[in-house]
Amino acid sequence: MKLILGITLLLIAAQGNAATITGRVVKVSDGDTITVLEGATQHKIRLMGIDAPERAQPFGNRSKQALANNISGKTVEVEYNKKDRYQRIIGKVTYMGYDINLRQIELGMAWHYKQYEREQDVEDRSKYAQAEYLAQRDKVGLWGLPEPQAPWEWRRKQSRIRNANLY
């Protein structure tokens, strides 16, 4: 009973720390990063729970274009409670009540970023994992590639190549 009460209090506290930005999407940098203009303030937003192919990676431009097609120029809400090391807001983006982060996974334009899934609420974590499974099963978007490479693996490989070229 104490464990359930403790977990409930933690969930309430975590939700209580969430903040919301409402603004217009003025830039789509790639398949998981946007800039939102709220009043006179621009906020760089990293979509929580997903990782999209890098621009130089196969499918990177298509992922960016899919995100732009869904929200560029539109007014969105961003719910967040943290920033990353680059000072980007890590948030869940919704447009007209629809989870845009989830939409990127459903379209096969991003992976569910399981390394950070504990930062998601349980319901979103489950939805994102299921959406990735279905997209992969049905070969939607990047899952139609012969050997899709996760962005974190691609970045690691690029880092090794850069480091090897230093010597």
* Beta-strand pair 41-47/89-95: parallel
* In contact, 49 and 94? CB cutoff 8 Å: no
C-alpha separations of 70 from 15, 16, 162 in Å:
27, 29, 34
* In contact, 90 and 48? CB cutoff 8 Å: yes
Q: From CA 161, how far away is CA 60, in angstroms rounded?
A: 19
Could you tell me which of 157, 114, 161, 105 has the C-alpha nearest to residue 135? 105
Q: Which DSSP symbol is given to 71?
A: H
* Positions marked active-site: 46, 54, 88
